[in-house]
A and B are shown apart, each in its own frame.
Chain A
């Protein structure tokens, strides 16, 4: 930042609130991020997917969903509406559930992303939530299921699976056109107990 600009900015600070922001102006927030000089230059993007560092050269327009499916071959995460309305593309980023269709791959640089493929443990055992979906017949066609399961795991971790009503409210971002909702609620209820028990 050039000195004139610095002076100008600090001179314009008028309130305590903006003073706090001014202090943050020069704070280096994070390591370097990908950037492209032009729209036609590929971005060098690294994402830690299911514990494995994956480096890709991507068009800036590539969503996390398309990076997973088309570039890494991880087709477990589904493309439903592609507009953030159905939840089929739900994955975990830094442990939090997000919609991969509305996330640019470049904006999750160096982040930990977990997909349905990353749930199976080293022993090959299913995650308790996956097992509960099978036990409770919580799907018919199965297309929404990976998103439902990722969302359900986050729902339990967030502490939002306290009652049937709370599960329904906090799972409302995942649509199921087959209408398996009652069995999905039963599966989440069941898995939350299994997830709480050690081992």
Chain B
């Protein structure tokens, strides 16, 4: 690991001041489950680490279930939100997406904001002995395009990067229309969760729209008719402690068997948290039938682009979505 200076901040003001110092080599440290791992691998090379864990005792560490929606502080740990009774009842897909990720040790450590900002598991990104990685070294090329790309994305790719977004919780946030609260050197702002991540395009190294020194302070999920009938379904190579090959979040508002409204997000198959609005449009106002579900799945993957080893993800992703729709429809709420 390369040398860095270490400091702990005890107030949010100090954290923002640290971000405002204009030091490009600064990283905030929360759970550390991504940062310390990637520092050991020499993929992330901060010169200054600012520990913000003490802020968990402020608003940043709180879960607040309100009539208007669910507010999750950025430093709430995955395990705490996963086991929260009201979240399990009113926002089940949120709890499931957290509970089915990582291991209990990691869920005890990892913060919610750190979770959504976790980096890709692309092996060519994580191993610096590969010279080509446009995320790590802009302009160096992409070793995954001609490499072993079984785990890589089929949606949102570019000719510069096909790394898949690894997280699960983000799919719940994007499906349920979450808002992200951000604080930074230029003040505070909030943005739709869907505006947080950037597709790789021609700059795969710029993964989010966060500016230098900014930090996420909270997520807000608005209350809606579809949150109780929501499901997170995760398909993977082993049944536990593994990243998704394909996953789906479905949130349904049903009127008998007709879809009044639906929210759909896909994971494991895309470069960023992926809202499948085309699939939603197919289902709105329709009866859930084998035909309409298949049409929605086809629409979700209409723009999919496979590489040598990951074509299976297109059919797997469609079947995952169809099964998630079935599970959501069958829920007793």
Contacts and interface: CB of A to CB of B under 8 A. Distances in A.
Interface of A: 1, 8-9, 11-15, 17-18, 20-41, 43, 59-61, 63, 82-84, 87, 90, 96-99, 101-104, 106-107, 109, 151, 154-155, 158, 160, 168-170, 172-174
B5 A172 contact: no
A21 B6 CA distance: 25
Contact of A107 (B51, B55, B102): B51
B29 A29 contact: no
Given A29-B57, A102-B36, A9 B187 contact: yes
A27 B58 contact: yes
B240 A172 contact: yes
Given A17-B218, A172-B241, A104 B102 contact: no
Interface in B43-71: 47, 49, 51, 53-60, 71
Interface string B8-42: 11111100110000000000010111001100110
A160 B8 CA distance: 33
Interface of B: 1, 3-13, 16-17, 29, 31-33, 36-37, 40-41, 47, 49, 51, 53-60, 71, 79, 102-106, 108-109, 179, 181, 183, 186-190, 217-218, 220, 240-241
B188 A104 contact: no
B5 A83 contact: no
Nearest to B77: A96
A173 to B, nearest CB: 2
Contact of A18 (B79, B108, B181): B181
Contacts of B41: 83
Contact of A30 (B49, B57, B179): B57
A129 B331 CA distance: 38
A107 B32 contact: yes
A108 to B, nearest CB: 9
A182 to B, nearest CB: 16
A34 B49 CA distance: 12
Given A90-B105, A160-B104, A172-B240, A109 B8 contact: yes
A39 B3 contact: yes
Interface centre among B6, B13, B109, B241 (most CB of A within 10 A): B6
Given A30-B54, A107-B51, A170-B104, A61 B109 contact: no
